[in-house]
Amino acid sequence: MLPEEADGAFLASRRAQEQSYLSRIDETFAHLPRPRVPWLPTDIQGVDALERLASCLEQAGL
């Protein structure tokens, strides 16, 4: 998810689009866990990035 403090017209537009997608996901997959993780500074590649993702999921209660 894009951070709220990300500014500029481009990111505001992307955040609105993201919200639309998240709403559709929430409706379609309401019966499944849907953790929200922050937009990470890099792609998920390698052990370090996987550990950061695992930490985000753990904080989300998964």
Domain identity same for 43 and 18: no
Residues 6+ apart with CB under 8 A from 59: none
pLDDT-based confidence at residue 6 (cuts at 50, 70, 90): confident
Overall number of domains in the chain = 2
What pLDDT score does 1 carry? 79
Asked whether the beta carbons of 40 and 49 are under 8 A apart, the reply is: yes
Domain identity same for 19 and 40: no
Domain identity same for 40 and 25: no
Domain identity same for 25 and 43: no
pLDDT-based confidence at residue 3 (cuts at 50, 70, 90): confident
Domain identity same for 16 and 39: no
Kindly list the distances between the CA atom of residue 45 and the CA atoms of 9, 21, 41, 62, in Å, as whole numbers in the listed order: 29, 24, 12, 21
pLDDT for 32 beyond 90? yes
pLDDT-based confidence at residue 40 (cuts at 50, 70, 90): confident
Domain identity same for 46 and 25: no
What pLDDT score does 61 carry? 82
Domain identity same for 44 and 24: no
Helix (H) or strand (E) holding 54: helix 46-59
Range of the domain at 13: 1-31
